[in-house]
Structure 1
Amino acid sequence: MLQKNQFSLQLVEKHSVSASSLELCFRRPDNGIITYVPGQFFSFHLPEAAANKTRSYSVANRCHNIRENRELRITATLIEGGHASEFFRQAEIGVEVSASGPFGNLILPPQDPARYLLIATGAGVAPYRAMLPQLSERLKAKPELQVVLLLGVQNPAELLYADEFRQMADEHDNFCFRACYSQAEAAAEDEVRGYVQTQFADLQPNTEHDRVYLCGNPAMVDDAVKQLTPLGFTPANLKREKYLFSRL
């Protein structure tokens, strides 16, 4: 039985988006509209097969008209032995789960700064993918606006949505994508070796014109905050969301 503020979702599509990640697409059984703001997340209340666990996933939709949106796409990283990972790995098209939301404030503000620094590791890049239609409109309207997206993964096989981010960079001179590999050498012009937070020295974040977003591995988020706080960044211009991975 659904609890208050919960609604049903039905799996309609599932495919791999990296060596260890799945993209899953859900619709409401009544084909109703699913309302959210790009950057927000939903909590999934998994059934007994997943030990009655609740897991939160950012919306990964690349939707141009969210007022009529009827899909909820999420990106799930598969953890060996994880209850949620095993549930999604084995889930067949048509299975139903319950969800609640949307939640979170990792969203774009009404007024743009001079530059967005979007920092992610792994599936933490999902909310930035959801922001692409919004960002494209703003970049076209404001040629002076700059957007830098850094995605940290172990190696190229773990890259998520890189083709879409690279296409965005091709279409907008004021959008920059950079893949950061912790366990592989860089082979392309937009790739570097090292963790995403090691790129701050090159980017020179400045509170006067930057708004920073952090999403992904808690260690990355904590390390980045330690570097940015002494520079004067506060919750007003530094938004963060940690992705916790659990086998329980």
Structure 2
Amino acid sequence: MEYSIALNFEDGVTRFIQCRDNETVLDAAYRQRINLPMDCSDGVCGTCKGQCERGEFDLGDDYLDEALSDEEAARGQVLTCQMVPASDCVIRIAADSQRCKTGIAEYGGAVAGVETLSDDSLELSIDLDDGAALGFLPGQYVNIDIPGENEYRAYSFSSPPGADRATFLIRNVPDGRMSGYLRERAAPGDRLMLKGPLGSFYLRPVTRPILMLAGGTGLAPMLAMLSQLSEQGCEQPVHLIYGVNRDDHLVKCEALDALTEALPDFAYTTVVVDETSEHPRKGYVTHHLAAEMLNDGDVDVYLCGPPPMVDAVLAHFETLGQQPAGFYYEKFTPKRVEEAA
């Protein structure tokens, strides 16, 4: 039996390792040439301390209180030199990936198709060389090289982890390098390189109601998260507010309808900015974000959209006088270039 362990580093890089039965995370990482911080490897110094954000494990009792206090353990902190997983886990590592002598992984794939969803958005499908090898957490993104150019762009997965075909919602920018390639030159079979996964925006363990807020192609990571929830099951209510500028910019609504069938307690609301629209809900997402949706703060909010939307939502929370128990957000722009690449 092996468990998949996601190591999230401070610089946004995520690396997945496989941990064998009765193997510590530290040993598994070293076996796979990732040098996690450590001095003693005996539970004495606390150098290898991390934060387990998801999963079951055993720490044993062979470590000193000075290395890990009971209070720290109760908050989910772990010593990777003592931690033996009993399930798949997600661990936040208090170091950057380069310090641990690792970095962004590269994966290959071929263009399966490009679909124009609206004049504002495209959907890119990539047949991965090894879908199982490209581990990521729903909500994360990769950098995709633009064929024939020494540039890349960052896009969130709209498909769930483990699929042989990865999909991405891409804003159709008139002068965009990736948009231009997809509109004018892309052909089935074109080779693409994907680098990642990256980002701290990903689905956390579901322990309370979820409110998702998406603007435009910020819908992509929400689709990945919802697909994951439909596969694993979800006992909490989930509500998505999805905002766009014009009626014809609303895309993937059939996929959302299918998810309402797969997730019995999932519902979504669409909002259109255009004042001339006949859509029943006009304006911005914040205009339709009522205080009761925050459930007196007992809610996890996931937000992905352009910077003005993120800033507006943050200000709206202040106006409502409520802050969610969990708040995870990602700002995106047409050209999101990460220094980590």
Is the TM-score greater than 0.5?
A: yes
For 2:303, the equivalent position in structure 1 comes to 214
Name the Cα RMSD after superposition: 2.7
Q: What is the Cα deviation at residue 141 of structure 1?
A: 5.1
User: Are residues 148 and 48 of structure 1, via their aligned partners in 2, closer, same or farther at CA, if it must alter by over 3 Å?
Assistant: same
CA distance in structure 2 between the aligned counterparts of 1:118 and 1:247, rounded to whole angstroms: 21
Aligned to 1:134: 228
Q: Distance in 2 between matches of 1:129 and 1:247?
A: 20
Number of aligned positions between the proteins: 232
- Check 1:38–1:156 CA distance in 2 against 1; reply closer, same or farther (3 A cut): same
Tell me the equivalent position of 1:107.
202
One-letter amino acid of the structure 1 residue matched with residue 190 of structure 2: V
* C-alpha distance in structure 1 between counterparts of 2:136 and 2:104, whole Å: 18
Deviation at 1:204, TM superposition (A): 4.1
Q: Does 1:158 align with 2:249?
A: yes
Q: What one-letter code is carried by the residue in structure 1 that aligns with 2:203?
A: L
CA distance in 1, matches of 2:111, 2:142: 15
For residues 173 and 137 of structure 2, what CA distance do their matches in structure 1 show?
28
Q: TM-score, normalised by structure 1?
A: 0.82
- Tell me if structure 2 keeps the 8 A contact 1:151–1:196: yes
1:167-186 equivalent positions in 2, closer than 5 A: 167-170=258-261, 172-183=263-274, 184-186=276-278
Q: Deviation at 1:225?
A: 1.2
- Of 206-215 and 223-232, deviating more is 223-232
Counterpart Cα distance in 2 of 1:16 and 1:176: 26
Question: Which is helix-richer, 1 or 2?
Answer: 1
Q: Summarize deviations over 1:83-116 as a string: whole Å, max 9, x none.
A: 1210121211111222211112322222421x21
Q: What is aligned with 1:117?
A: 211
The percent identity for this pair of structures is 26
Match of 1:76 in 2: 170
Q: Supply the distance in 2 between the matched residues of 1:31 and 1:137 (Cα, whole angstroms).
A: 17
SS in 1 for 2:225: helix
Paired residue secondary structure (1:205): helix
Query: Distance between the aligned counterparts of 2:226 and 2:336, measured in 1?
Result: 31
Any stretches of 5+ residues in structure 2 without a counterpart? 1-102
Answer 1 or 2: higher relative contact order, Cα 8 Å, separation at least 6. Answer: 1
SS at match of 1:33: coil
CA 1:174–1:29: 2 relative to 1, 3 Å: closer
> TM-score scaled to structure 2, two decimals?
0.61
2:157 is equivalent to residue 59 of structure 1: yes
